[in-house]
Chains A and B, each alone.
Chain A
Amino acid sequence: MNKTYSALNLFREGLRGQRGWAPAWRSPKPKPAYDVIVIGGGGHGLATAYYLAKVHGVRNVAVLEKGWIGGGNSGRNTTVVRSDYYYPESAALYDMSVRLYEGLSRELNYNIMLSQRGMMILAHSEAEMEIAARQVNAMQINGIDSQLLDTEGVRKLAPILNFDRGARYPIHGAMYQGRGGTARHDAVVWGFARGADRLGVDIIQNCEVTDVIVEGGRVTGVATTRGEIRADRIGAAVAGHSSVLAHMAGYRLPIHSYALQAFVSEPLKPVLDTVVLSPGHGTYVSQSDKGGLVFGGGLDRIPSYGQRGNLPVQETVIGGLSEMVPMFSKVKLLRHWAGIVDVTPDSSPIIGPSGVEGLYLNCGWGTGGFKAIPVGGYMLAHILATGRHHDLSRPFDLSRFTRGRLIDEGAASGIAH
């Protein structure tokens, strides 16, 4: 059986009718107990399990997923990866993630198709240019490769945008991060799953956690649709369902769940080789390797667990896109969907203790946690293994809401994800 992915093996299997490939991960029965349980088989949960085994040697680990791995937001997002956040704490966290992404295909022996095609956020007025300059300066001080582009700079990178001077939102310039871009979302999920499985982690699908067992103030296991499973260290990475889990275990979170929608068009010839976002139109767009336009906009305004789209946002986003790039108005939509995202008051994640001993959180990534999958997993693994925060995750502790030390990244994550 072929376990390693390489050009040579691909060629060999091509000659043998592709019959020699081994499944990328096992489907084991749950054991009665593990050293660590990770709830949620999205990117963050699987990355947590991978780094637990890889970095900390903790291999007796189960990832419990109620559906199929990657069926949540990790398989529903628009795959933008970047680290141009404003506050030093965020820049350090998200940039570590981009750096981990840069080495991930090789590390996992799995092509995650990271494409650092650059990401720009347009500025539509002189005032917006001044704010953009302010933000770019702050990011550069944080060590992020952010730069300010003028109109000509934008035109060079994305000539198909609407440069008409009479446009509703004329283009004055943009904030640009060259290391930003996209990656293949399913590949990130499957790559981490395969990596974790090879190190001994049990990935258990169709296993919903229905209750958290708390004895004497600390967790001792979970009840699931596949029976009771014990562990005295549990990591929760369930994104939009974080509050549902909190109700089970008896802690409270400052989170609202909302639907966030995205769209993909029929495939086109290559027309756009960077990611473009317009705050004015409330729309961002990139072109996938298959040629489809992948685009989206801001959150729904209504708190929701209904994982589907609706017309008001659709109208804003599609209207915005056809004004931003008028020739796209002729393009046909292929698919349209939503994911349930976990939004905090300061649009920053929550990493660390939940308040119930032994139960740790990795949630609150809201609209922007795909780019953070490697670092989110790395941080949760660190806390689960050592019982202590990593320096980079400490500012994102739940206690920041009590201390009044919020990290307000609303501007970095409103429409940009």
Chain B
Amino acid sequence: MQLFPCPFCGPRNEREFHYVAEPGKTRPDTTGDITAEDWAAYLYDTKNEKGPVREVWMHLTCRELFVMERDSVTMDVLGSKTLRRTLPAEGAA
């Protein structure tokens, strides 16, 4: 079992966490015309990188979303941050 760091609750059992998405994708502006290509890219394309990755995760216990940095090969956790950078609680890892 691995411990993942929730920026709000600290290190917790990996079973309490859920992978949500790749960060940095911008939802196309739905008030204008969107091409099928742009919409499909937004919905489906993933970087799926091998090595260091940044991902949005949810800690299911406190229901907070946050950004976790980890290595997708070694599974080492490299950091975890709240989504809103303005919050003082930076990286519990």
Contact = CB atoms under 8 A, between A and B. Distances in A.
Q: Do A and B come from one complex?
A: yes
Interface of A: 241, 243-244, 247, 252-257, 301-306, 310-312, 345, 401-404
Interface of B: 1-2, 14-15, 18-19, 36-37, 40-41, 43-51, 53, 55, 72-75
B72 A303 contact: yes
Interface SS of A by simple majority:
mixed
A108 to B, nearest CB: 34
Given A301-B18, A402-B40, 16 more contacts: A243-B47, A244-B50, A247-B49, A252-B46, A254-B45, A254-B46, A255-B46, A257-B50, A302-B75, A303-B48, A304-B73, A305-B50, A306-B73, A310-B2, A402-B36, A404-B40
B1 A312 contact: yes
Contacts of B44: 254, 345, 401
Contacts of B41: 252
B72 A306 contact: yes
Contacts of A302: 14, 19, 75
Contacts of B47: 243, 247
Nearest to A246: B48
Contacts of B14: 302, 312
B73 A255 contact: no
Contacts of A311: 1
Contacts of B19: 301-303
Interface-centre pick from A252, A302, A401 (highest chain B CB count, 10 A): A302
Contacts of A257: 48, 50, 72
Contacts of B72: 257, 303-306
Nearest to B38: A402
Contacts of A345: 43-44
Interface-centre pick from A257, A312, A402, A404 (highest chain B CB count, 10 A): A402
Contacts of B75: 302, 304, 306
A243 B40 contact: no
A343 B55 CA distance: 17
A241 B2 contact: no
Contacts of A256: 46, 48
A253 B45 contact: yes
Nearest to A302: B19
Contacts of B18: 301
Contacts of A243: 46-50
B17 to A, nearest CB: 8
Nearest to A400: B40
A256 B41 CA distance: 14
